Chain A
Amino acid sequence: MLAMIEVNLLPAEYRPRETTNVPFMATLVVGFLVIGGLFLYWMKAETELTELKRKNEDLTRKQEELKREADKVDKLKEEIERQKSRQQTIIEISQSKVMWSMKLEQLSALMVDYKNFWVQSLGLTKAGGRSSVLTMRCSAANSTLNDIARFRDSLQNDPNFWYHFARLDSFSYTRMALTGFRNATEKYDFEIKLPLTDGAPEAN
C-alpha cells in the first residue's frame, strides 16, 4: 500500500504562516508553575523536616542526659529514705529504753509505807499481745482490802513510777491463814499486772 505524502509546492512567502500554539504554551507555563511550586513546597517541607529531626536528636540527647541526672536524684531520694529510716530506728531504740533500776527503786520507796506487804516474785515479761507487762505477786499480812486499795492508789498516783504503764490489772485477792508466825495470823495473796504503754520496750 502506498503512503501519501503532503508536499507544499507554494513559494515560502505564499505558504500559510505557522502561528504560536497558545494552548500548548499555556499548558507549559501552568505546568511549570504547578510543578515548580510543588517542588519548592516539597523542598521547604524537607528543610523543615531536617530541622525537626535535628531538634529531635538534640532533645533525645538532652533527655538522656537528664535521665542520668534524674537517676542520681532517685538514688539521692533512696539514700534520704534510708537515712530517715535509720534515724527513726535509732529514735525508737532510744525511746524504748526504760530505766528499770530507777523504776524498781521507786517501787521500793513506795513499799516502805506498807510494812506488812511483800513481793513474792517480780517479772517483766511479754504478754500474749504486743506490750510487756510488769507482774508482781504480792502478799499482805494482817491487812484489809482497804490497805490493798491504798497500795493500788499509791502505785497509780506516783507519777514517776506510773510513767510508762498503761493500767493496773489486779482482780483477785485470796485470803489465807498464816501459821507459825507470832505477829500475823493471816495474809492476802494477790497479783498486780502493769502493762506498759505502747512505745515502751517489749520483753522478749
Chain B
Amino acid sequence: MNKEMRTTAITAALIIIGAVVLGYFINETLTEIDAVTAANTELEGQISTLEAKVATRPALEQELATLKENFAQYIKILPSPEIATPERLLELVQEKCERSQFQLKSFNFRPLADQKRARGGFREIDITLNAEGTYEQFLRFLNGLERHESFVRVNSFTCTVGTAAKKDAEGKDLWPLTVALNISTFRFDAGGGK
C-alpha cells in the first residue's frame, strides 16, 4: 500500500469513527424526542380531561347556589339552635301543659351529648314526658305541640286508663289517662356532620 492509499484509508477510518459517534448522539436525541413526545401526548390527554372537568365549574357553582338558596328555605321549618335549647323546650312544654290543663308528671331531656345526630349536620333533640289528663286534654296538648312554629314530631306514646275514677268539680266520674310521650325536634348545626 503506497502513501496516498494509506492516507486515504486513515482519513476514511476517521470519518467513519466520526460518523458513528455522531450517529450515537443522534440516536440518543431521537430516543429522548420519542420519550418527550409521548410524555407530551399523555399530558395533553390529561389536560383535555382536566379542562373538561374545570369547564363544569360555572354550572356547579350555579347548582350549589340554588341548593343553598333552597336549603335556606327548607331550614326554616326547624327551630334555630337558639330556640331548640333545653330552656326554650321546657318553656314550650310548660306553656302547652297550662293551655291544655295537662298534668305533667315527669320530663326527661336527653343530654345534648347523647342526642342522636342525623346525617347532614342535623341533631335530633329527644324528650320523653309522662303526664296525666283526659283524652281531650291529651289531644289539646298534642295539638298545641304539633302546631307550634318549632318542628315537633311525635315518635311514640302510650295512653292507659287509670284504675280508679276521679271526681270532677261537678261530681262526675273522670277516668284520667296516664300518658307517656316521646317527641323530637331537630336543629341544624351548621358546622357539624356530613
Contact = CB atoms under 8 A, between A and B. Distances in A.
Interface SS of B by simple majority: helix
A198 interface: no
A31 B57 contact: no
B151 interface: yes
A21 B5 CA distance: 9
Q: Is the interface of A mostly helix, strand, loop or mixed?
A: helix
A62 B47 contact: yes
A60 interface: yes
Interface in B10-26: 11-12, 14-15, 18-19, 22-23, 25-26
Contact of A63 (B50, B68, B142): B50
Given A56-B43, A93-B118, A99-B146, A27 B15 contact: yes
A21 B39 contact: no
Interface in B58-81: 60-61, 63-64, 67-68, 70-71, 74-75, 77-78
Interface string B138-169: 11101100110001011111111100000000
A59 interface: yes
Interface string A148-177: 000000000000000000000000000000
A84 interface: yes
B60 A100 contact: no
B194 interface: yes
A120 B39 contact: no
Given A66-B54, A201-B154, A203-B155, A31 B60 contact: no
Interface string B45-58: 01100110110110
Given A41-B26, A86-B120, A90-B120, A98 B154 contact: yes
Nearest to B3: A21
B121 interface: yes
A141 to B, nearest CB: 15
19 contacts: A28-B11, A30-B15, A31-B12, A39-B22, A42-B26, A45-B26, A49-B29, A56-B40, A67-B50, A69-B54, A83-B67, A87-B70, A99-B146, A100-B142, A100-B157, A102-B143, A121-B158, A124-B156, A201-B154
Chain A to chain B: the 8 pairs with minimum beta-carbon distance, closest first: A31-B15, A203-B156, A101-B143, A86-B120, A123-B158, A66-B50, A101-B142, A89-B120
Interface of B: 4-5, 7-8, 11-12, 14-15, 18-19, 22-23, 25-26, 29-30, 32-33, 36-37, 39-40, 43-44, 46-47, 50-51, 53-54, 56-57, 60-61, 63-64, 67-68, 70-71, 74-75, 77-78, 118-122, 126, 135, 138-140, 142-143, 146-147, 151, 153-161, 182, 184, 186, 188, 194
Given A31-B14, A56-B43, 11 more contacts: A28-B11, A35-B18, A42-B22, A49-B33, A52-B37, A56-B36, A73-B56, A86-B71, A104-B135, A124-B158, A132-B155
